[in-house]
């Protein structure tokens, strides 16, 4: 009897160990599960109302002063419509600069490589250290656009007795992707020297990577027009891909004459392939709809409708339904915070898979099964051993008798 109790105890212990391994799954099986269900938002506590202060009889509100009424201004009959001041003529006898035309818009496939081409701020240009140093001019009479221009040489028209340069320069790199490049500028020349000498206004390309070697003389004149002139565009296609210095200079030979100029709106455009602008075109497709609004009847006639441009067409595909089979339109989901995902009733294995690792569950089941089988084997072996002992005792008793 004692051995049988031992067998039962071992089997019971094995079963209990298996149940202990699976106890988390059994505990979770009784609780409802919501897939992807976020935790409910904790409502904010309702703020307690603020205590209102009881006004005392001695405190009175001070009214704001009433603003005085606005006075209407009646224009006089002699007032003119244009209020811009009329510029006074220059008394020195110098011709008034010719106002330039409207600025040309830069094409979409081009970039301007010159920085501060209007000389509106101090920078981007290197000014030469010469007896007649160039300077930024703010006299509006010698400005094409904006507020400033560049003055070079003897702009004061005083005799120059010392040879002098008056130069500015800026380094630029013409990009290799460009298909064309050109430079243009406005200048206001002045000189009393004869043409062909060392007194001149000029534009030169230098190579900053080769000790400022002269690459090309693009423009060299001795002019006294004393008015703004826009120089025609100078082609620079041969220099695409190179780094060059754009060099403007007003030179005086020092022979008692004077030469100078004002410079403004310098621009060097590098342009790439033309940009193709695609204009979207509306495509109107014919729509086939039933002749009687969805009930095709026996004939099944359809009408082909071609909407005109600008109309919105909604295509509806009718389906055959019976009186008991009414299609239900889906409900649009709104953006409220209490719109929760749909809850489901998962199975026991879904709960296990959602809350326990599958490997842990399999290990628990294997341990429980192993212990149960071990207990059963042990019980059978103990039973056989008990029967052998009983048979031996019976045999020994019979021999003693």
**Does 310 reside within a domain?**
no
Residue that has been written with the tokens 């509806």 in this structure: 316
Q: How does residue 361 score in pLDDT terms, banded at 50, 70 and 90?
A: confident
Dihedral (CA of 391, 396, 397, 399) sign: positive
Please state the domain count of the chain. Answer: 1
Could you list the beta-strand ranges (E) of 272-336. Answer: 287-290, 302-305
Q: Helix 358-400 and helix 348-355: axis angle, to 10°?
A: 110
Residue that has been written with the tokens 């031992």 in this structure: 6
269 has which bridge partners?
Answer: 112, 182
Dump pLDDT digits (tens) for 126-172. 999 888 999 999 999 999 999 999 999 999 999 999 999 999 999 99
CATH of the domain at 240: 2.60.120.260
Q: Which 8-state DSSP code applies to residue 252?
A: B
**Does 395 reside within a domain?**
no
**Does 125 reside within a domain?**
yes
Mean pLDDT comparison of 15-19, 303-307, 349-353, 390-394, highest-scoring range:
390-394
| Distance (Å) of CA 11 to CA 17, 18, 129, 172, 334 | 10, 11, 108, 94, 58
Q: Which 8-state DSSP code applies to residue 126?
A: E
Residue 326 pLDDT > 60, yes or no?
A: no
**Does 150 reside within a domain?**
yes
**Does 345 reside within a domain?**
no
**Does 141 reside within a domain?**
yes
Residue 372 pLDDT > 70, yes or no?
A: yes
The CA distance from 330 to 161, in Å, is: 95
242 has which bridge partners?
Answer: none
Dump pLDDT digits (tens) for 73-100. 454 444 444 454 444 444 434 444 445 5
The CA distance from 377 to 388, in Å, is: 17
Residue 191 pLDDT > 70, yes or no?
A: yes
Tokens describing residue 363:
């290990």
Domain limits at 185? 110-271
Q: Is-contact 9 363, C-beta < 8 A?
A: no
* pLDDT at residue 384, rounded to an integer: 81
Rounded to a whole number of angstroms, the distance between the first and last alpha carbons of the chain is 26
**Does 383 reside within a domain?**
no
**Does 264 reside within a domain?**
yes
pTM: 0.47
């Amino acid at each position: 009897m004692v051995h049988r109790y031992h067998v039962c105890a071992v089997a019971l212990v094995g079963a209990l160990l298996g149940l202990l391994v699976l106890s988390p799954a059994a505990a979770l099986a009784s609780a409802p599960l919501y897939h992807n269900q976020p935790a409910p938002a904790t409502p904010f506590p309702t703020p307690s109302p603020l205590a209102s202060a009881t006004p005392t009889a001695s405190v009175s509100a001070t009214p704001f002063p009433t603003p005085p009424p606005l006075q209407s201004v009646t224009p006089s009959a002699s007032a003119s419509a244009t209020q811009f001041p009329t510029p006074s003529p220059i008394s020195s006898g110098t011709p008034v600069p010719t106002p330039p035309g409207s600025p040309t818009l830069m094409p979409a496939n081009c970039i301007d490589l010159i920085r501060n081409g209007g000389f509106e701020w101090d920078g981007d240009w290197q000014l030469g250290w010469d007896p007649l140093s160039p300077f930024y001019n703010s006299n509006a009479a010698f400005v094409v656009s904006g507020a400033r221009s560049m003055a070079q040489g003897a702009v004061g028209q005083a005799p120059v007795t010392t040879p002098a340069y008056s130069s500015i320069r800026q380094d630029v790199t013409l990009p290799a992707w460009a298909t064309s490049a050109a430079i243009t500028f406005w200048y206001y020349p002045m000189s009393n020297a004869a043409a062909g000498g060392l007194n001149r206004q000029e534009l030169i390309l230098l190579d900053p990577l080769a000790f400022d070697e002269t690459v090309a003389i693009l423009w060299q004149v001795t002019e006294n027009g004393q008015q703004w002139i826009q120089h025609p565009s100078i082609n620079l296609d041969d220099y695409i891909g190179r780094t060059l210095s754009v060099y403007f200079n007003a030179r005086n030979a020092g022979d008692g004459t004077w030469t100078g100029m004002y410079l403004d709106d310098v621009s060097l455009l590098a342009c790439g392939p033309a940009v193709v602008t695609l204009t979207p075109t509306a495509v109107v497709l014919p729509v086939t709809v039933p002749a009687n609004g969805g009930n095709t009847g026996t004939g099944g006639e359809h009408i082909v409708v071609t909407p005109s441009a600008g109309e919105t067409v909604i295509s509806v595909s009718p389906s055959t339904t019976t009186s008991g089979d009414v299609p239900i339109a889906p409900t649009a989901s709104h953006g409220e915070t209490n719109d929760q995902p749909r809850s489901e009733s998962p199975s026991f294995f879904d709960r296990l898979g959602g809350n326990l690792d599958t490997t842990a569950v399999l290990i628990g089941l294997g341990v429980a099964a192993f212990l149960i089988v071990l207990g059963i084997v042990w019980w059978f072996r103990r039973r056989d051993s008990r029967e052998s002992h009983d048979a031996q005792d019976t045999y020994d008793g019979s021999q003693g008798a």
